[in-house]
């Protein structure tokens, strides 16, 4: 007797597979219907830029202004229409956390300079170079945050941004 095969036993190679998309964060391939990336684990929801209006300013202008020193950030966290908006709260908090991290970096540099000034010529030169690199890095980070806020995105710094997201949740 010859074994017969029914339609369930035949592999269906001609069946169309689900369309694949690339993760915008890590470029891993996944089905179009995936909720999370299998490569990096991030949500596949596309973040829409902020376009609303809060108080007398648009969201992106208020978020951008929050990065100009810590004073506007504190004002936005205190004033009523702005402290209810998640986008403005996030950028205000991230600015305050960045200011705190900058102060800590300055204190660490000052302590390092005390130790390095013991070395006659190399110590002060090394401190000047390290200070210039840290200042340039801080300026680039600040500029990126200002541009991203102006574009309407909630760009998160690696550690500080996660704290800002957590505390920006409106109770």
- Crossing angle for the helix pair 86-116 and 122-151, to the nearest 10 degrees: 180
Which of 49, 48, 66 minimizes the C-alpha distance to 57?
Answer: 66
The answer to whether residues 168 and 89 touch, using CB atoms and an 8 Å cutoff, is yes
**What average pLDDT does the structure give for the chain?**
84
Q: In the chain, where are the structural domains located? A: 58-168
pTM (2 decimals)?
0.69
Per-residue pLDDT reduced to its tens digit, 90-144: 999 999 999 999 999 999 999 998 988 888 888 889 999 999 999 999 999 999 9
Residue, of 131 and 55, whose pLDDT is higher:
131
């Amino acid at each position: 007797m010859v074994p017969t095969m029914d339609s369930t036993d035949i592999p269906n190679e001609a069946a169309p597979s689900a369309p694949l998309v690339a993760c915008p964060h890590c470029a891993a391939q996944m089905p179009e219907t995936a909720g999370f990336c299998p490569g990096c684990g991030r949500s596949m929801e596309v973040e829409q830029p902020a376009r609303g209006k809060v108080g007398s300013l648009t969201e992106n202008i208020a978020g951008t202004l929050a990065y100009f020193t810590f004073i506007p950030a504190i004002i936005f966290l205190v004033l009523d229409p702005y402290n209810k908006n998640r986008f403005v709260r996030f950028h205000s908090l991230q600015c305050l956390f960045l200011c705190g991290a900058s102060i800590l970096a300055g204190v660490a540099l000052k302590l390092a300079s005390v130790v390095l000034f013991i070395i006659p010529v190399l110590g002060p030169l090394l401190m000047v170079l390290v200070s210039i690199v840290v200042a340039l890095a801080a300026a680039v980070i600040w500029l990126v945050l200002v541009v991203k806020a102006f574009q309407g995105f909630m760009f998160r710094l690696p550690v500080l941004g996660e704290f800002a997201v957590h505390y920006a949740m409106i109770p």
